[in-house]
Structure 1
Amino acid sequence: MKIISKIKLFIFFSALAFISIQQLLFVDNVRAEQGVLSKPASPLSPGFDLMLVGGGLKTCSSLSSNSCTEGVTFSPNAKLSIQYHFSLDWLERALNHFSLQTLSLNQTNNLRKASLKAAKSSVNLNQLKDAVYQVDKHLLDELTDQQYYALLDLLEQEQHSTDGSPLQEQVMLDATTKPYGPAIYRLFTLQALLKKQQRNPDATRPLIGIVTASARDPFESISFYSSAFEQAGADVIWLPLDAALQAGIHHNQCDKLPLLRQQLQGNTDKARLYLEHTQLQQRLCESPDNFYQQLEHIDGLFLNGGDQSLTLSAWLTPDKKPSKALVLIKNRLANKQIVIGGTSAGTAVMTAVNMITGGTSEGAMQHGVFSAKPPSERCEINHCDGKTPATAVTYRAEGGLGFFPFGIMDTHFSERARQIRLLMLTASTESEMGFGVDENTALLVNLADKHLSVIGEHGVWVIEQTQASKDNRGKINFSGVSHYLTSGSQADIDDSHWRLMNFELANQAVSVNMAANSSGDQQWIGQACRDGRLSNKLIDDFKLVVHPSSLAGCQQVLKGQLGYQGVKLLLQQ
């Protein structure tokens, strides 16, 4: 570990007042909990440029009350659920929309019958589906994505408070049961403040811009992210950048934004529900220089979760070239003027090359890895027929936004057992490295120092030195060296050999101890560290051989922890 990097991180984390809770590092910033970030005694060197979150940022909100402590109540203006009009007259309104004119007579009649079976005219999504299933259990599955989502959007119900204002999702960071999500929002906010203080040493609140283009409906989560970052101590603006706005600016078709939203982003009838936000998007489309000025002034940029392909379409022109907005943000990132964060799809899209777009570990072994457009997300459930199997691993060879130059980014990692898919993708594409971030966890990246650190509930899995080679039977085998960095761990990237070095694994006092309920992958690593080698049969005659490079690399595992380094993996057919 370089001494300068150690000093930076010591000062930086000290300023955040990290404390240990349940054997985990998380941020405890009292002033931030009150909505105001305290100004450090002196400006600090920027600690990181990218915050790559693995998704699953559990946060107490009116739409996620299961993440709240007991006894939490929300104001009468809080949106508690998404509701749908499922009365016959409202359904007729939806069926008259041009987007549903392709439904068959049988489908429209069955939807009418289902609306009559609904227990009430205002229903949630599960109640709507149940009513339809009672009439035709295959109807919704048979709809195309465009038909299915247009139906939901056209039926979605407006919800207003007694004063007529729209209900909004309310967030309570301080009432969240687990501290990790709020800690990550506060850490990002503090880092944005440090960026701002390079220009204005007296600043006390940063300006964070949120882009919600990863969602099919980018309007729905505006209030969530705005509230979360405001409570973390930031001023927040929503940047209405999505595929529709990008196309409207590029083709000078701002008068066609509603149609572009349906064709490119996949949503319908949003001006009815989000009039102010659609009007803002319209104004910035007509005056894009105002939008670019906003990008010049933000101190932090945060990308939401959903579909990374949608986020990419927001930042690329329709002919797949970097947009003016993307060039501007990349220049600011290169000059260390901004911190960029993302969660789930917002993390995956930062990959420079070979951006993963879909698939599972099982699908990788059963069907393979494809440079192709991913099937619909609904196909994993509905088993759609298509050129690419629903669970096969797909990727975009040209990559994503290019903010993270060190390898492929993957998310929801241990929770969805994605180790095999990342190993196969990284080896198949001859990528240098692959990184898998667990939920409620963040990988912090200092681009200039090539330094990584981990905070949050779980850890980050790294695969390097990957190869795909044929054996004497003509079967392709995949190999690599894996590491797992738990919260509080650090490492540097050696980009001359494309591997991690200068490991500093978190010690027992601050590491995550989940041995009792660890994933299958972690159990295999533990057994391999104890026995020196493990061979485990998977599906379709695949076999995974786990071989630690040395007992020193297994030191943490042998102490009952999860972090390790230098474990060789060989996936054989």
Structure 2
Amino acid sequence: MTLNWKVVLSVLTLGMSGAAMAESPSPQDPQWNLMLIGSELRICSSMNSDYCANDEWINANDMRTSRLFQLTDVRRSSALRQAIWPRDRQGVREELDEMLREMVDYFARGVVSEHRLVDRFRSRAYLDLLMRLSDAEYNRILDNLEMPRLEGLDEVVNLAMNDDFSAEFITQFVAMAESMHGIANERPARILVITAGERDTFRNVDSHVQAFNQAGAEATWMPLDIAVSAAQASGRCQDLEALRRELSGTYDRDRVDPVRHGQQIAFCRDPLAWQSMLANADAVFITGGSADRLKQTFFRDNRPVALLTAMQERFTEGNLAIGAAGEGAAALVSANMITNGHSRSAVAEGSIARRPPPPDCGLDNTCPRNLSGNSLTYEPLGGLGFARFGIIDTDVSHRGRQGRLLRLAADTRSPLAMGIDRDTAIRMNTRTGAFEIGGREGVILLEGAMGTDTMLASTFHYLRTGTLGQLSGGRLIDAVMAPQEFVRPESTTNRFLGDSGIFDNIDTVCRGRNELRLLQENFELMMRVNDDSELELSRGRCQIMNGIMGIATQ
């Protein structure tokens, strides 16, 4: 459906002051300056053929198609050396040693591709061991077994073959940068790519830089991450590899990718290198990974580093576009940044203003005191400060994160909380509050959340792709809901804590009794509409404005 911007913007700006309206974007150019994507970009490339509509174009002789791993004695010994394994995990370490020796015989060679190694790791013979490994232990093994990148074979991106909306989001972000600077058809938009939120900040550089370049931009990677930030602050640029192990849990990146490592060393030793890179940029795109890791990268002693301050100033002045995906989007808030948590634990136990626990910390006994791997943790002082309208959560509908979003909004008395679905993006003009939803699914907005230890409730809006609206003063002012195609869910569940129960059953709210009730264990979900609600009755997954949502513990 094509919407008339003149009509839409006249609705969205209704009630704004004359001065504000005089400065508003034109109907033809809403001047988006912020893009939030609800999941990490899935870029079709020779390394990621699962993200492609087909893989017939991939040539293994000319392209890098997989990470390679060595099962030699040297690499196995490195992966299992006692110095990097806690004493209370020695039993697991010995089982891994036996497994890797068996794999040498199984593959009958010293080099194996990632998919073959991982498939064998997940086979019935080793599944029990795999289930007892934490993320940190699993990655420790792979990091130490990985071979250096082979010269002459590079990852190749094919944006035209992308199998979801990632290519569209990339193209839209490039257009945002061009529009903001009025450079369309004059020169390429210059985009800085920041991968600092990821555990391995080298791994997705090539795919993102190439993707933006294929979309018509001139993309550059900023070699910044938590290790570089800490090294600059302490004068330890020579210790980058040790700091990566300590702060990100990555091993041997200097051996595996010496080129990227060298770029980080040079960037680290020049404390002003960021200035020319940012000055040359029209936009900055931040990939996913960990919101907490991004926070720690851009702050020292709870104060923003000079780079972040400069980015915020340019963003506020209106000459820098910002985009982010997955937890990178969640990290852009100015207060109450979600850093961890499962909806079940959030509803039952509440939120905790602490650094997040390590992933799967219950498996290797690394959980901090009074925290579990599922605890809802948050940073009350927020993240990078580009999104000032409220809390942001991502991949909400598919992973049943409405509960943790509702809990944090209620605990912190946040007027507005936004949950963005997988393969979905929201573009915003942060000055006017105007927004547009694009991609596959939708966005849930929670207003005025409140609660007790056993009950949570709020007003909610669920808006889907094509919808245009405006936020102001911590609430949805208005929206024009776009009609949707019929959606028949492939499978459905009633489980709404950590699963897609709300997403699968939301159409029930719009029909019949105008109410949805779901039970899971001792938790009950209620969603209801009334005379004040507005509905868009697309079959399968309707849209709702001014509904009521509650979760109670029975």
TM-score (norm. length: structure 1): 0.83
Q: Does the CA contact (< 8 Å) of 1:529 and 1:551 recur in 2?
A: no
Counterpart among 482, 486, 500 of residue 464 in structure 2: 486
> C-alpha distance in 2, partners of 1:106/1:457?
46
Task: Confirm whether residue 309 of structure 1 aligns to residue 309 of structure 2.
Answer: no
- Secondary structure of 2:272's counterpart equals helix
Q: Does the CA contact (< 8 Å) of 1:258 and 1:269 recur in 2?
A: yes
Q: Does the CA contact (< 8 Å) of 1:528 and 1:546 recur in 2?
A: yes
Equivalence for 1:500 = 476
Task: Spell out the pairing of 1:131-530 with structure 2 (5 A cutoff).
Answer: 148-160=138-150, 164-165=151-152, 167-178=153-164, 180-197=165-182, 203-317=186-300, 319-379=301-361, 387-469=370-452, 476-495=454-473, 498-506=474-482, 508=483, 511-517=484-490, 519-522=500-503, 524-530=505-511
Q: Does the CA contact (< 8 Å) of 1:46 and 1:195 recur in 2?
A: no
Counterpart among 510, 528, 548 of residue 547 in structure 1: 528
Query: CA 1:274/1:559 → structure 2, altered by over 3 Å: closer, same or farther?
Result: closer
Query: CA 1:220/1:382 → structure 2, altered by over 3 Å: closer, same or farther?
Result: same
Q: Does the CA contact (< 8 Å) of 1:458 and 1:487 recur in 2?
A: yes
Q: Does the CA contact (< 8 Å) of 1:512 and 1:561 recur in 2?
A: no
Equivalence for 1:60 = 44
Q: CA deviation at 1:94?
A: 3.9
> C-alpha distance in 2, partners of 1:173/1:450?
31
Question: 1:398-425, CA deviations, whole angstroms, 9 ceiling, x for partnerless residues?
Answer: 1111110011111111111212221122
- Secondary structure of 1:526's counterpart equals helix
Q: Does the CA contact (< 8 Å) of 1:348 and 1:411 recur in 2?
A: yes
> C-alpha distance in 2, partners of 1:401/1:566?
30
Equivalence for 1:13 = none
> C-alpha distance in 1, partners of 2:349/2:478?
37
> C-alpha distance in 1, partners of 2:330/2:189?
25
> C-alpha distance in 1, partners of 2:397/2:98?
43
Equivalence for 2:53 = 69
> C-alpha distance in 1, partners of 2:309/2:209?
25
Question: 1:150-183, CA deviations, whole angstroms, 9 ceiling, x for partnerless residues?
Answer: 33212112242xxx33x333211111233x2111
Deviates more, 1:103-112 or 1:399-408: 103-112
- Secondary structure of 1:415's counterpart equals coil
Q: CA deviation at 1:315?
A: 1.0
- Secondary structure of 1:59's counterpart equals coil
Query: CA 1:267/1:77 → structure 2, altered by over 3 Å: closer, same or farther?
Result: farther
Question: 1:410-449, CA deviations, whole angstroms, 9 ceiling, x for partnerless residues?
Answer: 1111111212221122111111111111111101110111
Query: CA 1:484/1:133 → structure 2, altered by over 3 Å: closer, same or farther?
Result: closer
TM-score (norm. length: structure 2): 0.86
Question: 1:362-410, CA deviations, whole angstroms, 9 ceiling, x for partnerless residues?
Answer: 2323433222222222348779765223223221111111110011111
> C-alpha distance in 1, partners of 2:334/2:256?
36
> C-alpha distance in 1, partners of 2:166/2:379?
30
Q: CA deviation at 1:140?
A: 5.8
> C-alpha distance in 1, partners of 2:309/2:373?
34
Q: CA deviation at 1:241?
A: 1.1
> C-alpha distance in 1, partners of 2:394/2:478?
24
Identity across aligned pairs (percent)?
26
Q: CA deviation at 1:190?
A: 1.1
Query: CA 1:126/1:315 → structure 2, altered by over 3 Å: closer, same or farther?
Result: farther
> C-alpha distance in 1, partners of 2:534/2:189?
41
> C-alpha distance in 1, partners of 2:432/2:249?
40
Q: Does the CA contact (< 8 Å) of 1:487 and 1:512 recur in 2?
A: no
- Secondary structure of 2:203's counterpart equals coil
> C-alpha distance in 1, partners of 2:362/2:160?
36
Query: CA 1:290/1:125 → structure 2, altered by over 3 Å: closer, same or farther?
Result: same
- Return 5+ residue gaps in structure 2 as ranges: 13-25, 493-499
Q: Does the CA contact (< 8 Å) of 2:358 and 2:367 recur in 1?
A: no
> C-alpha distance in 1, partners of 2:342/2:372?
11
Q: Which amino acid aligns with 2:417?
A: G
Query: CA 1:451/1:383 → structure 2, altered by over 3 Å: closer, same or farther?
Result: farther
Equivalence for 1:127 = 117
Query: CA 1:142/1:234 → structure 2, altered by over 3 Å: closer, same or farther?
Result: same
- Secondary structure of 1:488's counterpart equals coil
Query: CA 1:420/1:328 → structure 2, altered by over 3 Å: closer, same or farther?
Result: same
Q: Does the CA contact (< 8 Å) of 1:432 and 1:466 recur in 2?
A: yes
Query: CA 1:7/1:245 → structure 2, altered by over 3 Å: closer, same or farther?
Result: farther
Query: CA 1:138/1:516 → structure 2, altered by over 3 Å: closer, same or farther?
Result: closer
Equivalence for 1:14 = none
> C-alpha distance in 2, partners of 1:530/1:170?
48
Q: Which amino acid aligns with 1:80?
A: T
> C-alpha distance in 2, partners of 1:101/1:132?
24
Q: Does the CA contact (< 8 Å) of 1:111 and 1:132 recur in 2?
A: no
Counterpart among 534, 537, 548 of residue 568 in structure 1: 548
- Secondary structure of 1:151's counterpart equals helix
> C-alpha distance in 2, partners of 1:264/1:385?
16
Query: CA 1:381/1:286 → structure 2, altered by over 3 Å: closer, same or farther?
Result: same
Q: CA deviation at 1:269?
A: 1.2
Deviates more, 1:147-156 or 1:422-431: 147-156
- Secondary structure of 2:267's counterpart equals helix
Query: CA 1:116/1:476 → structure 2, altered by over 3 Å: closer, same or farther?
Result: closer
Equivalence for 2:17 = none
Question: 1:9-47, CA deviations, whole angstroms, 9 ceiling, x for partnerless residues?
Answer: 9xxxxxxxxxxxxxxxxxxxxxxxxxxxxxxxx997562
Count of matched residue pairs: 522
Q: CA deviation at 1:274?
A: 1.4
Query: CA 1:501/1:7 → structure 2, altered by over 3 Å: closer, same or farther?
Result: closer
> C-alpha distance in 1, partners of 2:427/2:194?
20
- Secondary structure of 2:160's counterpart equals helix
- Secondary structure of 1:288's counterpart equals coil
- Secondary structure of 1:398's counterpart equals coil
Deviates more, 1:326-335 or 1:517-526: 517-526
- Return 5+ residue gaps in structure 1 as ranges: 10-41, 470-474
